[in-house]
Structure 1
Amino acid sequence: MSTKDDILFLFEQGIKAANPEFLFEDFWKKNPGLEQTFNDQNKKLFVFALGKAAYSMAMSFSHYFPVNKGFILTKYGHLPSEKLKMREDSIWKYREASHPILDQNSIDFGMEVLKILKELGSNDRLVVLLSGGASSLFEVPIDGYALNDLVSIQDQLLRSGKTIQEINQERKKYSTVKGGKLLKELNEELEVFSFVISDVIGDDPNSIGSGPTFPSRNYFILGNLSRSIENIVFEATNLGYKTKQISDTWTESTKETSILIEKEFLTALESPEKQIVLLGGEMVCPVFGNGLGGRNQEVSLRVAILLDKHKVNREWAFLSGGTDGTDGPTDAAGGVVGNQTISDLKAKHWDPIEQLENSNSYPILKDVDALVMTGPTGTNVNDILILLVDSAKA
C-alpha cells in the first residue's frame, strides 16, 4: 500500500475504535450490575438520543435492551434516508436539525422532546445517549431570545476562535436545557441515566453537548479520543511504523499546529525508519474572509505549504480529520496531503497561500483529490492528526 493508503486506513481504525457498538460491548462487560438494572422490566424504558452519533448510539443500545419509546435528534444527513422519510415508527421518532449553528428545527424539536420527557414519571426510566453536536441540535431558549438572536451569537462565537468549552459556557446562558437544566424540567421521581461519547478535551461533562444532564449520579462516559489514538498506535505498529504520540488533548491553533508538524517532520527525517506522529484534540481556527473550509482542512493545507519547502526523497503524508466525518460546514471529514499536493494545486492555478488567507481550503483541496470523505461515521471523539514518513530508500 502507498503512504496515502496507510494513512486513510489508520484514520479509519481510529474511527472504528469509537464505534458505539464496540463501546457498549466493552461497557456492559465491565458493568454487569448496571446491565442487570436495565434488564429489569418493572419500568418502561424511554431513550433520548442526542448528537451526531445519536442514531448509531440508539441502535446499539437497543441491541441490548427492549426500548419502549425513543426520540432520536441528530444532524442533517446523519439519519438513514428511510428513517428520515418515515419520521417515526412504533418505537422511535426520527428528527434532524442544524449543526454547528442551530436552526428553527433545533428549537421546535427541542420543545417537542421536552414535552414528552416531562410526561415521564416514577414508572419510567430515561436513558439519555449524548454525543458531540448536541449543543446546536437541541435548544429551548430562555424568554427574550428568538432564533435570530441565538444564530447571531453562535456565529460570532464560532468565528472567534474560542475553545468549545468557552463556546458552550456562553450557550448555557440563554438556554433552559443546557448546563443540567434539563434535569430540573423533569419529574424528580424519574430515574435518569446518561451514556456519553466525549468530543471534549479532558472529557469535561459540563462541556459535552453543553451538559444537559450533568451533574447527575448516573452519568457514564463510554468512549473518548484516547481509545481511538491507542487503536491507531496498535495498527501502525503492526504495519511496521515507529510510533510517536504527542498529545490527545491538543487545543492550539491551526497555525501553531502546522509549525509543530513541520518540526516533527524534520525530526523524523533524521531516522531511516518509517514513522508515524500522532496528535489528537480540537484545534482553534479563527475564520477570515468568506471562503469555505474547516479546521482540519485548513491545517492540512498549512502543513502542505510548510513541508513542500523541504524537497526530500522520501514519501510522506499528513491527514487531519474529524472523527464524526464532518469538518466545519462541509461534507468532508478533513484533508489529506502529501509530496505532490502543492505542485498539483499550482498546476490547477491555485495560489495556496492566498486561499488560506481567505479560509478557503475546501474547494482547492477538493480540486486535487485531497479531501477525506467518510460520510457520517456514527461517532464523534474530536479530531485525529496523523503524519506518516516512509522509510529512507537504500
Structure 2
Amino acid sequence: MNDQHPPSPAPVRGLTTTGWTDGRARAVLRRILDAAIHSAMPDRVLARYLPPPPKGKCVVVGAGKAAASMAAALEQAWPDVALSGCVVTRDGHGTGTRRIRVMEASHPMPDSRSVDAGRAMLAAVAGLGPDDLVIALISGGGSALLECPRAGLTLGDIRTLNHALLHSGASIREMNVVRRHLSAIKGGGLAAAAAPARVVTLAISDVPGDDPLTIASGPTVADPTTAAEALSILHHYDMTVPDAVETVLMQPPTDRMLSPRNRYTLVSTPLMALQAAAATARDCGLTPLVLGDALEGESRDAGTFMAGIALSARLHGLPVGAPAVLLSGGETTVTINPAGPPPGRGGRNTEFLLSMALTVQGNEGIWAIAADSDGIDGTEDAAGAIITPTTLTRARALGCDPRACLRAHDSYSLFRTTGDLVMTGPTLTNVNDIRAVLVL
C-alpha cells in the first residue's frame, strides 16, 4: 500500500484553519479531554446520590480504579457517620482516607492481593442485620482487583484465564460473563453475602451500555447469564484455559439470593463525560457532535472509520460542518495474534490514533486526541496521545515507520518518539475512553 500523501483536496467553501495554530489545536483538545475527566471525579458527583444514614452499622466496600477516591468523597460527605470497611484499587490509584481502609492490587492481572481484598470484603459484610447498610463503591477495573475463586480453582487458574481473555479479542462484556461464573464474589456474590443488610451500590461506569453486570463483573448484581454461555465464549474464541476452569463451569450453579431493598445507581457514565466535553467544545467556538458512548471493535478499524467521518466533515460538511469536534467513547480492542511475534508497546487509544493518522494522511484540517480517562492506556504510563497534520511526517523524519509500528502494535513507541503522548498520571476516576477529533 502506498504510504505517500495523496494530492491535497480541492478547497471547500467555509472551511479554514485561519487562526488555528498547532499549539491552539492541541490546547483545545486537551481542554476538552480534561473537562470530560473532571466531570467524572467522585468528589463532584457522589454526594448527591447517597441514601440517608442507617439506623445500624454502615459498612463500605468497593473495587475499581476510582474506588479510593469514591471512598474519600464518601467520608467527606458523611463526616459524622461511623463508617467501616475497605475498598481495593489499582496500584498507584490510592488516596488518603481516615475511616475506610484502602487496599491496592494488580491490574489487569489479579494477584494474591486481589484475593486478599475479596476475602476482606466478604468478611466485612458477614453477620450484618436488616438495619445495617452496605455502601458498595464500584468502578471499572474491579474485575481484576477483587477476586475470590470458586472452590476447585486457584489464583493461578484465574490468572491464566485472564491472560487468555485479554488477548482473545473478546469484548469486555464477554470477558466478564466468564469471570463472573468462576468467582464467589462477582455476579452478586458480595451482595448475597451481605444479606439481610441493605446494599446500596454507587457506580461509575466504564463499559459500553453502562451494564451493571459488566462494571467490575457486577459483585452486587444478580447474574442472569449461565455457565453454558461462559463456556460458549471460551470455545468461540478458541481459548486455551486450565482444565479446572471448564470443570467448574460444568458444575451446578450456586443460588445467590439478593434483597429486593438493594439499590444500584450510576453516579457517572461515559455519556455524562462526553456531554461535559461537548459543553467545553461549544465554549471554544466549536460545534460538537457526539457519535456515541459505546463504540467497540478493533482499535485500528475504529481509527479508519473515524478518519472517514472526519474527512467527510472537512470536505463536505457532513455529518457536521467545520469548525467542529467529533466526540466518542467506549472501549475498542487490540487483538494480539498468539502465533505472531511479540507485540510492541501500545494501548487501544494509541493504536486507534495511529490507524487514524494513516488514513487521513496529513490532512491539514484534522487533529485528534484519544485517551483512557483513568490515565493509563492499556499497561503503559500514558493516557493516550494526540495526532496532528504533521504526525506521519515527523515520525518518518525521526526514523519511525508508521505502518510497521501499527502492524507490530507498537504505537506507544511512535508517539513517544514524536513527543505526542498524553501523560496525566492516575486520574482516580474511570469512564472509559474519551476521543475528540477536531475538524477545521
TM over 0.5, shorter chain: yes
In 2, the alpha carbon distance for the partners of 1:152 and 1:27 equals: 38
Q: 1:47 aligns with which of 45, 51, 60?
A: 60
In 1, the alpha carbon distance for the partners of 2:433 and 2:88 equals: 22
Q: 2:357 aligns with which of 301, 304, 313?
A: 304
In 2, the alpha carbon distance for the partners of 1:64 and 1:43 equals: 18
Offset, 1:6 = 0.6
Q: Which amino acid aligns with 1:301?
A: L
**What RMSD over aligned residues (CA atoms) do the two structures have, in Å?**
1.8
Correspondence 1:224 to 2:303: no
Q: 2:216 aligns with which of 203, 209, 213?
A: 209
Q: Which amino acid aligns with 2:185?
A: V
Contact residue 249 and residue 282 of structure 1 kept, 8 A: yes
In 1, the alpha carbon distance for the partners of 2:98 and 2:284 equals: 47
In 2, the alpha carbon distance for the partners of 1:282 and 1:312 equals: 26
User: For residue 132 of structure 1, what is the aligned residue in structure 2?
Assistant: 140
Q: 1:264 aligns with which of 291, 306, 309?
A: 309
User: For residue 63 of structure 1, what is the aligned residue in structure 2?
Assistant: 76
* 1:178-257 to 2 correspondences below 5 Å: 178-186=186-194, 188-215=195-222, 217-257=262-302
Offset, 1:26 = 4.4
Relative to structure 1, the CA distance from residue 374 to residue 90 in structure 2 (aligned partners, 3 Å threshold; closer, same or farther) is: closer
Q: 2:92 aligns with which of 77, 88, 98?
A: 77
In 1, the alpha carbon distance for the partners of 2:433 and 2:363 equals: 28
Offset, 1:131 = 0.4
Relative to structure 1, the CA distance from residue 324 to residue 265 in structure 2 (aligned partners, 3 Å threshold; closer, same or farther) is: same
Instruction: Show structure 1 runs of 5+ residues with no match.
Output: 29-33, 84-88
Correspondence 1:275 to 2:324: yes
- Which moved further from structure 2: 295-304 or 256-265? 256-265
Offset, 1:228 = 0.8
In 1, the alpha carbon distance for the partners of 2:288 and 2:154 equals: 50
In 1, the alpha carbon distance for the partners of 2:128 and 2:185 equals: 16
Q: Which amino acid aligns with 2:67?
A: A
Identity %: 31
Contact residue 262 and residue 306 of structure 1 kept, 8 A: yes
Offset, 1:277 = 0.9
In 1, the alpha carbon distance for the partners of 2:199 and 2:406 equals: 46
TM-score (norm 1): 0.89
In 1, the alpha carbon distance for the partners of 2:401 and 2:212 equals: 42
Q: 1:92 aligns with which of 60, 84, 100?
A: 100
Q: 1:116 aligns with which of 93, 113, 124?
A: 124
Q: Which amino acid aligns with 1:290?
A: P
Offset, 1:122 = 4.0
Superposed CA offset, 1:20-54 (max 9, x none): 122124436xxxxx3xx22x5x2221111311001
User: For residue 365 of structure 1, what is the aligned residue in structure 2?
Assistant: 415
User: For residue 86 of structure 1, what is the aligned residue in structure 2?
Assistant: none
Relative to structure 1, the CA distance from residue 90 to residue 262 in structure 2 (aligned partners, 3 Å threshold; closer, same or farther) is: closer
Superposed CA offset, 1:288-342 (max 9, x none): 432121111110111122222xx5443x311111111111111211121111211
Q: Which amino acid aligns with 1:175?
A: S
User: For residue 9 of structure 2, what is the aligned residue in structure 1?
Assistant: none
Count of residue pairs the alignment pairs up: 370
Superposed CA offset, 1:132-178 (max 9, x none): 00100000101221122111111111111111000000111211011
Contact residue 47 and residue 67 of structure 1 kept, 8 A: no
Offset, 1:119 = 4.1
Relative to structure 1, the CA distance from residue 156 to residue 230 in structure 2 (aligned partners, 3 Å threshold; closer, same or farther) is: same
SS of residue in 1 equivalent to 2:46: helix
Contact residue 53 and residue 380 of structure 1 kept, 8 A: yes
